[in-house]
Structure 1
């Protein structure tokens, strides 16, 4: 028989936003045994951020205790907002909660992958007293982490007292508190195909700079519709479209900007890598006549062709372009090229140069990231090409 578990979670903020903390506990739903308790301060945050943090702590406790397999987990909270958003009935509109909602959903998926299932249920505040008491411990600056042996909980025991795990006093400071407000969503779009793409020829910064092929124009229009639909499902805030200085990226960006009703801007640091004397060369010719140099170009981040630039040089300018894009806030759509998009993903995911070629970025594929002022980054998806269904592939 599946094991039934209860996760009770809560969070609070004294001032909203103000001094905040969360609390969560896990019970055996059949016996009432208390299995885990969690609480921690959050510094300055809103009630909603604190409530989501409690939910995350409770789900993480289920996974930490290795209880997810075949478990029927019922999450009980007195936050109507969190319950309805996690159930998928309400949108997550505020930027400061989007990352936390994505994190909670990822934990739900981990429970499901382990063989369990998760259900969300709203309860009146009076029925959530234990989690509320733990959240107050968090607001008082206490960090609580205790895993129990499964003995029935004493209903008369204080929420915080003798027998608990050691308490860490935390100095609350708005200067050191992670900032969840003011995130920037970045949507990366690779340009459509050109005749060089179709012929598998290198085409970097300083090369022939061809226009999109007819197929590439169709791909760009499809990508523009996909970006428009993506933003229509959320609260995008101010929208900016950036392109590299190369023609194929500007054409792709122009289609996207037209679909969104904005004017595109050019940032040349999003240009493709310069391949120097190899610009325009066919990959098949290079593989036959210059195999060692080709391998070195892919494997040595400091190797550059005469008149070209190394991967490290490319990554440095793309990193600067990415920082400028994020500083704009709202939603920034960037029409760029394969190597620059790979550089961004390698930077935010900590992927070394040897593994960078494992990242797929097909022509007019969509990749989305969310970046917070505290340095947090979440990659929502990579290489989405669903909008290209029905089109000829390159």
Structure 2
């Protein structure tokens, strides 16, 4: 299954959460682990790794199951986090916006070295805000007809070259199918390629490679020492094997040239620092990554998206959804051999990060049980 289909399947899956709150025994860590073990066995999950936070504190981190054929998962095991990466890309863009280096409502062509226009609406500019809230009218349909995966290495093609080939009208991958027949800014449609383009906007405005900008301005200030965009910078002995029928066991790790939409590898504990920054209005451990005003702005939800008759509400790089009767804010992810969730409550300040090196896993009950445990601490 390609990345486009995985993303849509995950969105529909997350949106299908039960609307009625359920009762689970979360009185002790052992009782929560029983729920996680049961879900692991029912779904044949290879491993489950998680972190629970409350306010600025790490409440609990643990891991069960196998990271590889020979190693058990630990709290230090790194996973490909897939579309949760979009939240990091969004914060990178928002940081530049609050520094007045990037105008969210200016035509992105102001910043790019090639022109991007929906050919159905050639006089309607696409803005950075539209990329952030998935209203850019950029479709993943054409992307989904290709296999751009690079195995056991970072893709050699630079981000700018790949995107120019895809969006420039003279590019070798260009197609009108890359655009919806909706005017930019008027309808929400989840877009992986829109977020790849957002990463390139950040790269151009910051005048440095996108991955380096994120490391210097997000990962290092937050103390996220086990988080990388690049596979070449990630110790392979710390990586969970992504288990999937589509993956060759001897060469299981992969990247893609549009990496700002899903290429981060990290641990739940490291990503919990990112969540705690969000919970604490842009600041963690004395370091301010973005302002409180920016945290407020990412929660604005102009466009609901409906998939398979189910609705969820997008903010800027994050979304709201109802899991077992509780409204949480964050992002999920899914790729070949990985399923991930990163959500927190705006009301309680409790957040949960859960990763599994298994395709198409339903992490909702695990997420909910860990969240309820966090609320009682």
Which interval holds the TM-score relative to the shorter structure?
under 0.3
Larger relative CO (CA 8 A, sep 6+): 1 or 2? 2
TM-score scaled to structure 2, two decimals? Answer: 0.24
Larger Rg: 1
